[in-house]
Amino acid sequence: MGHDRREKHEPRHPALLTLRADRGVPSLRSIALFRAIRDVIARTDDAAFRILHFSVQQDHVHAIVEADSHDALSRGIRSFVIRIAFAIRRVARVRKVWGDRYHARALTTPREVRHAIAYTLLNFRKHLRAPAGIDPCSSGPWFSGWLQPARPPSLPSPTATPRTWLAAVGWRRGGGPIHTHEEPGPARKFSR
């Protein structure tokens, strides 16, 4: 019993989150929808739940999140999904936003976290067949772990500072800084 109680309140590993839009939703990368999503991310200021990295694709959103407990992770994801849905409905005037439930996977090793960061920030290369570079519809412009550092935009970063060792520094042990020429590989997803 004590173990279960402790486990619910222990700091959690970062997690890779995927939200897939319904077919009737216009491209999430449109200027208005991307700004609405980025604003929700920037306002996610829960002390127990944080969004560390994100990318917005035409029909889905990837985010790497962390929370102080399993309960905080569940509540934080639920709140985040709802707030993004409201923002998209307001801008796109659609009734249904998400095509299915969210998918999330805990990241437990430096290699997994590094792979998830590269996958998230470089996902536009996979879906848009874009050349190497930094996706403007992501937190990539603010990411400090590129092999060749980029000049950050004048806007403040919409993402939070990681608090877990894996997300803050441990990921670098999984392969070092990320190169913009890397090809994002497939990410395994598990439904919650």
Categorize the per-residue pLDDT at 180 as very low, low, confident or very high, splitting at 50, 70 and 90.
very high
Tell me, what's the pLDDT at 110?
96
Residue 6 has pLDDT above 90, yes or no: no
β pairing state of 60-67 and 49-56: antiparallel
* Residue 31 identity (one-letter amino acid): I
- Whole-prediction pTM value? 0.88
- The Cα–Cα gap between 55 and 66 comes to 16
* Between 78 and 150, residue with greater pLDDT: 78
Each domain of the chain, given as residue ranges in start order, spans 2-174
- Cα angle, residue 42 at apex, residues 72 and 123 outer, rounded to 5°: 90
pLDDT in tens, 20-57: 999 999 999 999 999 999 999 999 978 899 999 999 99
Instruction: Judge whether 83 and 58 are in contact, CB under 8 Å.
Output: no
- The Cα–Cα gap between 72 and 179 comes to 32
Categorize the per-residue pLDDT at 102 as very low, low, confident or very high, splitting at 50, 70 and 90.
confident
Across the beta sheet with 15-20, what order do the strands follow? Answer: 49-56, 60-67, 15-20, 103-106
Tokens found for residue 91: 């801008």
* Between 37 and 130, residue with greater pLDDT: 37
CATH of domain 2-174: 3.30.70.1290
Tell me, what's the pLDDT at 145?
95
Tell me, what's the pLDDT at 61?
97
Where do we find the tokens 């849905």? 85
Average of per-residue pLDDT across 2-20:
67
Instruction: Judge whether 72 and 53 are in contact, CB under 8 Å.
Output: no
- Cα angle, residue 9 at apex, residues 7 and 13 outer, rounded to 5°: 75
What DSSP character marks residue 189? -
Tell me, what's the pLDDT at 186?
58
The mean predicted confidence, pLDDT, of the chain is 88
* Between 149 and 145, residue with greater pLDDT: 145
Tell me, what's the pLDDT at 115?
95
Instruction: Judge whether 11 and 23 are in contact, CB under 8 Å.
Output: no
Tokens found for residue 67: 């929370």
Q: Specify the DSSP element, H or E, that contains 169.
A: none
Average of per-residue pLDDT across 180-192:
60
